Structure 1
Amino acid sequence: MKKYLSLENLISVIIIILPTYLIRFNIFSVPTNLLEVLMTSLIVVWLLKKKDKVAFLKKGVGVYKKYIFWVILIFLGLLISTLVNQNYTAGAGIIKGWFLFPIIFSAIAITEVKKEKIFLSYFISSFVVASLALGYFFLNLITFDGRLEAFFNSPNYLAMYLAPALIIGVGLYTRNKKIYGVALAIILVAFYLTFSYAAWASVFIAIIIFLRLNKKIKLKAIGIVLGVAILLFIFSQAGKNKYNDFSHFTERSSLSSRTMVWKAAEKIISDNWFLGIGPGNFQTKYLEYQKYFPPYLEWAVPHPHNIFLSFWLQSGLAGLIGFLGLIYLRIKETSENVFNKNALATLSTAILIYILIHGMVDTTYFKNDLAIVFWLFFFMGIKKF
């Protein structure tokens, strides 16, 4: 029994059930969710079981010392921006749920669980989510424009959750072709039905980069694969309203809507470039700035559809610099992993590449599950102690 209740298995289970953050409630009037409760329990168990915590902490600081300053910078940016903009409740909740818990949980996970098991746990989670999502599809529980979102708030969020699993499936496919092949096909179908063009393109690029870094594909082959992918995209989407709006850049297309959001975000940043507007304040500010623009195409916009703009707006210039510093150091460490032929570290980097590429046109961080995905695979490319 103790074997099944091991710390390693508990962490794996939490990774598998990441979407439980959607089960929300209050504890003593403090907003929380099931995932946070489970992570809190795990942290308590870990603290009780871990011997010689001081020595462990010193060793951890030694391994991650070059990253700590940039993480502190992000937290300072978030805290100062929250205090200045006086959005205390939302700000505290975001710092807790999208930064503090994800970082602590991910740091514990990569010290207690083998990397391949972390990949497998997330792959299983995505397989379960994809299977449930297909159930929604067969019951015709889809959006008004025919896209699959399942129990998420948007088809894009479903795509963001499934995308890392596609990269994992490709990376680990040769280890068990039957199991990974079948599961990968199911995840791919659900991913396709989201019709998230940005997610499709970002995953494709990330997989190509992963295969190239591992020397599993030649440069000539990349050109051929790219050409085939473009043709498949055109033939499969031609005639659909979303494709027509996208290809002709109509005034009602998602790209037109995003362009308007980016212009509004740019204006907000120009007025709040140093301290930002605070976590959770974008929707309010976005509506306040309507007077400077033609009528919005989108009104419910909690984030500016760009991960870098999100960090700048929610944590000020300090937070943005902290985030960029982390990315720079992680990419630098990736080059060393590639040189040392560390395939699993390279795989985690491919997932980060996906997050950053898709993050150019969407917000691929500011959700409980997406934040954990970011930090989990961020840490996995760093030397384990």
Structure 2
Amino acid sequence: MMPKISKLERLLRGALFILIACLPLYLLRFNIGSLPSTALEVMVWMVFILWFACMFVIPDKHREAMRDPESTISGSRISRFARFRDDIYTHWPLSLGILLLIITGTVSIFIAPDLRAAAGLWKAYIIEPLALFIVFLTTFKKEDAPKIIFALSLTALATSVFAIYQKFTGFGIPNPYWAAEETRRVTSVWGFPNAVGLFLAPLVPLFVWRIVSSVIPDPAKRGSGIHQFLDPGSRVASRRLSGMTFYYYLLVILSSLLAIIFAKSTGALVGLAAALIITGILYKKTRIATIALTTLGAILVLTAPQLASVKQELLMQNYSGRIRRDMWAESIELLSEHPILGTGLSSYKEVIQRYRIDKWIEIFEYPHNIILNFWIELGALGVLAFILIFYWLFKTTRAAPALLAAFAVILIHGLVDVPYFKNDLAVQFWLLAALCYNTRTYER
């Protein structure tokens, strides 16, 4: 008889699901003594302490059971932790990318203009998300994926419904220009409109696949695997959703898309469209139709006078596009003087001042491009870390359409925005990476 899951383990799993459903709680900020902190950070450390207790401070009577790799979650976690350790060489691009991320992040603290601020970002964007990555890997199994997606859907639904409410009332929008009815852009619980798309857009493919994978539940009818939830061999994908759950996910998808549209987050919408195109092209059954529809759409956008504004926005010929091009030019000039180490974490707003082209507008926190973000904050090796991690992600998710689409959204949106350097986005990124890792690794 297999040993039962301990109460401490149940508490850990419950705490993890709550944390996943509460990622925007980093917006609740306070001080612990003289140290600044957030509600999300407190939750992260509580979860990590619980995980450490489950992993290393378990009563002796459970030790023998835990050595059995066929036991329940307590034992399988030890087994997965050992496999994770042993897989460092197998998954060397990911391992090397993480190592470089930690090294460059640590070095960047000491070259930054503000050491205290840099240390805070190092902790929030690198150390804590990576610690959670290990916790996710060693606590969750592949079969937990639907529960994880459900937890993410709760926060997606709550934030998107609030954004829709803002669209019709203007309530809670911090900027008067965005709040004005004729120029309204919703912000939901965040401080700026693009944050809505940055958080919700990568999750939409996961919600879509929860529906698609249940519509065709017979594995024999799935062919190449395009209808799978996470990967072609997943039993998780074959579970048909109940009527209420099906309509729930449909509601989450529609509300998330409406929130992104009402936020006028073009980068997120383009990212979703690009992810759909990339996913469609990768699979033989949809390749021809995807290429044909994409070509037709491109011709319409480029030639139809009625779509001139869309063309200008996509080609970055409008006001927002010009501002971004100027920011990139400033950043490249900055990097020409700091090509190896960059300028350190939390440095951009201060060091960019003397390179500015548009001195009459506000200074943004980042240059709105994921490569430039990593290069300025973490240096050239930080960019290499980014490339290695994404190489591993796309190589690993080739047979997992939902996750492939999610990371494609992050990458495409990242060409014009900041899809990682926020507390919730960093944790979300490594949660999706853990799903990817568990999906493809522990089926051996």
TM-score range, shorter chain: 0.7 to 0.9
CA distance in 2, matches of 1:225, 1:86: 46
Q: Judge which range, 300-309 or 45-54, deviates more.
A: 45-54
Q: Against the structure 1 CA distance between its residues 182 and 226, is the aligned structure 2 distance closer, same or farther, given a 3 Å change threshold?
A: farther
Q: Against the structure 1 CA distance between its residues 192 and 232, is the aligned structure 2 distance closer, same or farther, given a 3 Å change threshold?
A: farther
Q: Against the structure 1 CA distance between its residues 199 and 274, is the aligned structure 2 distance closer, same or farther, given a 3 Å change threshold?
A: same
Task: Answer whether contact 1:245 1:253 (CA < 8 A) is retained.
Answer: no
Could you tell me which amino acid in structure 1 is paired with residue 208 of structure 2?
V
Are residues 1:60 and 2:75 paired? no
CA distance in 2, matches of 1:273, 1:196: 31
Are residues 1:111 and 2:138 paired? yes
Unaligned runs of 5+ in 1: none
**Counterpart for residue 409 of structure 2:** 354
Structure 1 residue 115 displacement after superposition: 2.0
**Counterpart for residue 99 of structure 1:** 126
CA distance in 1, matches of 2:285, 2:247: 20
Are residues 1:246 and 2:309 paired? no
Considering only CA atoms, is the larger Rg found in Structure 1 or Structure 2? Answer: 2
Q: Against the structure 1 CA distance between its residues 139 and 361, is the aligned structure 2 distance closer, same or farther, given a 3 Å change threshold?
A: same
**Counterpart for residue 257 of structure 1:** 323
Task: Answer whether contact 1:257 1:298 (CA < 8 A) is retained.
Answer: no
What TM-score comes out, normalization by structure 2 length?
Answer: 0.75
Are residues 1:328 and 2:394 paired? no
Q: Against the structure 1 CA distance between its residues 3 and 227, is the aligned structure 2 distance closer, same or farther, given a 3 Å change threshold?
A: farther
Partner SS state of residue 52, structure 2: helix
Partner SS state of residue 381, structure 1: helix
Q: Decide which of 369, 372, 376 is 1:313's aligned counterpart.
A: 376
Identity level (%): 25
CA distance in 1, matches of 2:36, 2:8: 33
CA offset digits 1:129-184 (Å, max 9, x no partner): 10121222222235143111122121111111110222112211133432222221
Partner SS state of residue 397, structure 2: helix
CA distance in 2, matches of 1:3, 1:61: 24
**Counterpart for residue 269 of structure 2:** 200
**Counterpart for residue 161 of structure 1:** 199
Question: What are the within-5 Å matches in structure 2 for residues 1-385 of structure 1?
Answer: 6-51=11-56, 57-65=81-89, 66=92, 67-113=94-140, 114-141=144-171, 142=173, 143=178, 144=180, 145-174=183-212, 175=214, 176=241, 177-213=246-282, 217-224=286-293, 227=296, 246=313, 253-290=319-356, 293=357, 295-296=358-359, 298-335=361-398, 338=399, 343=400, 346-382=401-437, 383-385=440-442
Q: Against the structure 1 CA distance between its residues 32 and 234, is the aligned structure 2 distance closer, same or farther, given a 3 Å change threshold?
A: farther
Unaligned runs of 5+ in 2: 1-5, 57-62, 64-76, 215-240
Task: Answer whether contact 2:9 2:54 (CA < 8 A) is retained.
Answer: no
Structure 1 residue 367 displacement after superposition: 0.2
Structure 1 residue 296 displacement after superposition: 3.3
Structure 1 residue 229 displacement after superposition: 9.0
CA distance in 2, matches of 1:354, 1:121: 20
CA distance in 2, matches of 1:320, 1:180: 36
Q: Against the structure 1 CA distance between its residues 364 and 260, is the aligned structure 2 distance closer, same or farther, given a 3 Å change threshold?
A: same
Structure 1 residue 219 displacement after superposition: 2.0
Q: Against the structure 1 CA distance between its residues 116 and 353, is the aligned structure 2 distance closer, same or farther, given a 3 Å change threshold?
A: same
CA offset digits 1:58-79 (Å, max 9, x no partner): 4322124422232121221122
Q: Against the structure 1 CA distance between its residues 215 and 11, is the aligned structure 2 distance closer, same or farther, given a 3 Å change threshold?
A: farther
Q: CA RMSD in A?
A: 3.0
Structure 1 residue 2 displacement after superposition: 5.2
CA offset digits 1:254-303 (Å, max 9, x no partner): 0000001000000110001111100001011111323xx3x336322100
Task: Answer whether contact 1:111 1:384 (CA < 8 A) is retained.
Answer: no
Task: Answer whether contact 1:75 1:319 (CA < 8 A) is retained.
Answer: no
CA distance in 2, matches of 1:133, 1:384: 38
CA distance in 1, matches of 2:394, 2:8: 37
Partner SS state of residue 298, structure 1: coil
Task: Answer whether contact 2:112 2:346 (CA < 8 A) is retained.
Answer: no
CA distance in 2, matches of 1:233, 1:26: 52
Task: Answer whether contact 2:301 2:310 (CA < 8 A) is retained.
Answer: no
CA offset digits 1:198-232 (Å, max 9, x no partner): 11111111133334546663422453267469869
Structure 1 residue 334 displacement after superposition: 3.0
Task: Answer whether contact 1:170 1:207 (CA < 8 A) is retained.
Answer: no
CA offset digits 1:20-77 (Å, max 9, x no partner): 0000111121111000101100111111122579876543221244222321212211
CA offset digits 1:285-333 (Å, max 9, x no partner): 111323xx3x336322100101111111111112111221222223233
CA distance in 2, matches of 1:233, 1:125: 37
Give the length in aligned residue pairs: 370
